């Protein structure tokens, strides 16, 4: 094909198409990262045109993903990450084929790696979460902010990006509800804040936020410079409080989300309610995310297993 645009130009047109179809900026940004890495990988192997991408080169890319190791940690890519990379490349190639830039989609025969069904990351116990919350210095505006955001994370199980995006009008103080606008999948949802979290949020808004406010903005949680949080900065902040509280379990904001779901499940909440709270589109996501706790499993085992009531064998010394 004469006058074929470069892969980078075609990538820009692809992203414009996604924007016209109302894809979220987060998804587009993630795909931008993945596809640019693929283009760089291809260029390093002499593939400079999209017409030169073949099933064989995609198979080689899959092998490269499988053998790739992180330079810092030496760890491989998770199979779910490999599958996500390949799926993203496949979607771009399918679009190129539909638009007539390439003859056929070379990714149609590529088999995606089977994803692992892993248990979710660590969660905090009730004692640990209370220790975390009580470790905040409440004598400063940033301390009031941090207590409020930790309380809101714990009460609602909202995602990091959802908390960052909260605006003043998203909180209904009378009903104790928070409106999460355009969450994952560009879906709105309403979640209860709980009385305690709402109380700390109101205290921050009254006594802490005015001191952080640099210019007019309706963003609720502000940095010391008066700006909205960057996701990495917020994760680092939460991690610093976990470390200061002596909690060594891996994780940060997402661990608080998982803590909310797990402790509610242990308290008797049904999966449908947790699904709605977390904003999961599919119930099976919630079933994996809020795994049955070992505490509840042990209680059920003790109550229902015939052998659980039998006396254990006596030792020879008794």
pLDDT for residue 286 is more than 80: no
* 8 A C-beta contact, residue 255 and residue 124: yes
* 8 A C-beta contact, residue 109 and residue 55: yes
Does the model's pTM come out above 0.75? no
Confidence of residue 24 (pLDDT cuts 50, 70, 90): confident
Confidence of residue 120 (pLDDT cuts 50, 70, 90): low
Residue 97 φ then ψ, to 5°: -70, -45
What is the tens place of the pLDDT at every residue in 97-108? 999 999 999 999
Mean pLDDT of the chain: 88
Which pLDDT score, from 0 to 100, does residue 285 have?
A: 58
* 8 A C-beta contact, residue 28 and residue 91: no
Instruction: Specify the range with the lowest mean pLDDT, choosing from 47-51, 241-245, 297-301.
Output: 297-301
Which pLDDT score, from 0 to 100, does residue 305 have?
A: 66
From CA 42, how far away is CA 60, in angstroms rounded?
10
Confidence of residue 309 (pLDDT cuts 50, 70, 90): low
What is the tens place of the pLDDT at every residue in 174-192? 999 999 887 666 678 888 8
List residues with catalytic annotation. 159, 184, 254, 257, 280, 289
In this structure, the number of other CB atoms found within 10 A of the CB of residue 39 comes to 21
């Amino acid at each position: 094909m004469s006058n074929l645009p470069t892969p980078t130009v075609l990538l820009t047109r692809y992203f414009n198409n996604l924007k016209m179809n109302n894809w979220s900026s987060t998804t587009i940004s993630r795909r931008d990262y993945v596809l640019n890495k693929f283009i760089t990988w291809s260029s390093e192997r002499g593939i400079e045109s999209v017409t030169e991408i073949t099933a064989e080169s995609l198979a080689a890319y899959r092998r490269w993903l499988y053998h790739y190791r992180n330079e810092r940690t030496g760890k491989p890519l998770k199979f779910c990450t490999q599958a996500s990379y390949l799926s993203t490349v496949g979607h771009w190639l399918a679009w190129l084929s539909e638009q007539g830039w390439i003859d056929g989609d070379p990714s149609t025969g590529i088999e995606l790696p089977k994803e692992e069904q892993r248990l979710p990351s660590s969660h905090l116990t009730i004692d640990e979460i209370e220790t975390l919350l009580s470790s905040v210095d409440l004598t400063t505006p940033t301390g009031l902010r941090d207590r409020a955001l930790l309380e809101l994370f714990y009460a609602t199980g909202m995602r990091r990006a959802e908390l960052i995006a909260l605006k003043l009008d998203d909180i209904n103080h009378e009903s104790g509800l928070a409106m999460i606008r355009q969450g994952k999948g560009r879906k709105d949802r309403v979640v209860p804040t709980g009385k305690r979290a709402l109380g700390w949020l109101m205290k921050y808004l009254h006594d802490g936020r005015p001191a952080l406010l640099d210019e007019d903005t309706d963003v609720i949680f502000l940095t010391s410079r008066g700006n909205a949080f960057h996701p990495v900065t917020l994760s680092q902040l939460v991690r610093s409080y976990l470390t200061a509280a002596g909690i060594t379990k891996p994780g940060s904001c997402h661990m608080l989300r998982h803590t909310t779901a797990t402790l509610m499940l242990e308290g008797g909440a049904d999966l449908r309610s947790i699904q709605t709270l977390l904003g999961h589109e599919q119930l099976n996501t919630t079933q994996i995310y809020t795994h049955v706790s070992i505490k509840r499993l042990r209680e059920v085992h003790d109550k229902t297993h015939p052998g659980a009531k039998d006396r254990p064998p006596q030792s020879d010394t008794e």
